């Protein structure tokens, strides 16, 4: 079908969200992450859970072992009628009952034992956890790759001086390696968080209608244990039908990751502005081009990272809201997870992909950093002069003397060294050579390079220990 008007003929695209859009999906996601959350993959996990349940029950004699074997052999994703599944899901409101109807038919007489003692949410929650497990593996790999990139940036630019800025104004000198080390430390912590949350999040669900496993006549916990063994998931201490902190933690973890990516993106966008010109995203012909301004080179990856961070933050809030559920089975908050969770993972994967591309090829301009560092003619190290003068005059008097010198530079021009050299209370303690040393920003980097060394050492130690 085509959309027609008086001027054009266009193909009809069915996607309506950015993460599935033919135009935008690879800007806001990745094929690998979308594949995990695709309908076919989700239904395949529903089938896998039903089969694993039959196997577990066959192992302990809750259902005949022969029936379990038949179910495992005959349940087929390829044989499903997905259009029928769609229609019946729309009627029922959930996909499991329509799915079970089809699986029962596939399995003949053994089909009577499919879904034995289970409830819809058991299958759906456990399938979701299987998705999350695979999705976290992708996130883990991206974080590991990003840590390597950031460690390389920090090491290469350990001693590359630049202006540090607070409230968007020159503050004190730093190094670009110091900035990259701060970024690295964030992702070291994210790697540690990811390792720690897995045991809490990757827990399956099998509890029956009201969560008590009453229908299995005392064999419920045994089946639950064997089912989780079949699937390689943790055994829940209690039913979590309405205790949603695990999945909420996973999405809020993604909000932390994308929040860090948003911070990095914001830094890069500011530093690549015309007035700064200190870093640039990798050059790709046509990327970031304007339709009307040929000179433009917009920071596209950073913009996408920042947008993703804002969207995932909203979904993190939705997941927290969805934790507030009524009694033993929710009347609606559970459904909000169906929106928030897959979109959060896809957006996070997209942001991590953009970060790997952008930071892996980041163009750093040390010469421009040096020019910007010197643009205030020494004012950026006014603190250095104040601290050098303080032992002779007292800190507050030193502050007032240097403050007056800075105002003189702002009003009349010249350098801070020139202004200081006109003040007897300064020249009584420092000659011109000393003033030049004090007002050279490269002599006031503090412990920035040493902090880079420490961050790199800690990052390597975390990697070596598997954290």
Active site residues: 167, 290
For residue 173, give the H/E element and its range. Answer: strand 169-175
Torsion of CA 55, 56, 61, 62, to 10 degrees: -100
Using only C-alpha atoms, what is the Rg of the chain? 30
**Read out DSSP for 294-329?**
TT----HHHHHHHHHHHHHHHHHHHHHHTT---TTS
Do the Cβ atoms of 386 and 380 come closer than 8 Å? no
Q: What tokens appear for 10 in the block?
A: 């266009």
Dist CA 388 CA 429 (whole Å): 10
| Residues counted in the chain | 467
User: Are 311 and 348 spatial neighbours (Cβ–Cβ below 8 Å)?
Assistant: no
**With contact defined as beta carbons under 8 Å apart, do 409 and 416 qualify?**
yes
Are residues 113 and 65 in contact, defined by beta-carbon separation less than 8 angstroms?
Answer: no
CA-nearest of 47, 94, 95 to 71 is 47
Q: How many helices (H) and strands (E) does the chain have?
A: 19, 6
Whether the CB-CB separation of 189 and 216 falls below 8 Å is answered with: no
* Angstrom distance (rounded) from CA 50 to CA 227: 10
DSSP assignment letter at 77 = S
User: For the chain, how are helix, strand and coil distributed in percent, rounded to 5?
Assistant: 65, 5, 30
How far lies 368's CA from each of 268, 280, 316, 379, 381, in Å?
Answer: 14, 12, 39, 18, 18
User: Of 419, 302, 285, nearest to 354 (Cα)?
Assistant: 302
Q: What's the first-to-final CA gap in the chain, in angstroms?
A: 52
Give Cα 143 to chain centroid, integer Å: 8
> To which H or E segment does residue 10 belong?
strand 9-11
Contact 139, 33 (CB under 8 A): no
Closest listed residue to residue 261, CA positions, set 141, 166, 350: 350
The phi, psi pair for 269, rounded to 5°, reads -60, -45
């Amino acid at each position: 079908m085509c959309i027609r008007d008086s001027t054009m003929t266009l193909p009809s695209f069915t996607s309506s969200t950015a993460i599935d859009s033919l135009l935008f999906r690879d800007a806001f996601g990745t094929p690998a992450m979308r594949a995990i959350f695709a309908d076919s993959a989700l239904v395949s996990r529903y089938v896998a859970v039903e089969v694993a349940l039959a196997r577990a029950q066959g192992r302990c004699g809750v259902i005949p072992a022969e029936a379990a074997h038949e179910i495992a052999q005959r349940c087929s994703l390829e044989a499903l009628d997905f259009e029928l599944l769609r229609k019946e899901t729309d009627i029922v409101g959930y996909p499991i009952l329509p799915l079970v109807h089809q699986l029962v038919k596939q399995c003949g007489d053994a089909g009577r034992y499919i879904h034995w003692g289970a409830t819809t949410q058991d299958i759906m929650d456990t399938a979701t956890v299987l998705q999350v497990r695979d999705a976290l593996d992708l996130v883990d790999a991206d974080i590991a790759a990003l840590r390597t990139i950031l460690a390389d940036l920090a090491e290469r630019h350990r001693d590359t001086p630049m202006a540090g800025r607070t409230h968007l104004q020159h503050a004190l000198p730093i190094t670009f390696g110091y900035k990259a080390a701060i970024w690295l430390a964030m992702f070291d912590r994210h790697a540690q968080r990811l390792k720690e949350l897995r045991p809490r999040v990757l827990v399956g669900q099998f509890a029956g209608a009201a969560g008590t496993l009453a229908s299995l006549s005392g064999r419920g916990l045994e089946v639950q244990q064997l089912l989780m063994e079949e699937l390689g998931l943790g055994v829940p201490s209690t039913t979590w039908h309405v205790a949603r902190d695990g999945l909420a933690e996973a999405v809020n973890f993604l909000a932390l990751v994308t929040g860090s990516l948003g911070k990095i993106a914001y830094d890069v966008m500011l530093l690549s502005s015309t007035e700064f010109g200190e870093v640039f995203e990798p050059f790709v012909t046509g990327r970031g081009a304007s339709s009307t301004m040929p000179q433009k080179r917009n920071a596209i990856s950073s913009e996408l990272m920042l947008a993703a961070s804002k969207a995932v933050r909203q979904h993190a809030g939705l997941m927290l809201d969805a934790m507030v559920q009524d009694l033993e089975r929710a009347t609606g908050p559970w459904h909000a997870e169906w929106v928030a969770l897959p979109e959060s993972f896809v957006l996070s994967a997209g942001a991590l992909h953009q970060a790997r591309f952008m930071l892996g090829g980041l163009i750093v301009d040390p010469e421009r950093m040096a020019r910007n560092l010197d643009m205030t003619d020494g004012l950026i190290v006014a603190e250095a002069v104040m601290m050098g003068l303080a032992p002779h005059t007292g800190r507050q008097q030193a502050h007032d003397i240097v403050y007056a010198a800075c105002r003189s530079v702002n009003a009349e021009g010249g350098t801070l060294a020139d202004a200081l050299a006109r003040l007897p209370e300064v020249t009584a303690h420092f000659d011109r050579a000393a003033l030049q040393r004090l007002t050279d920003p490269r002599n006031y980097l503090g412990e920035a390079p040493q902090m880079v060394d420490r961050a790199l050492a800690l990052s390597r130690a975390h990697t070596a220990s598997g954290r």
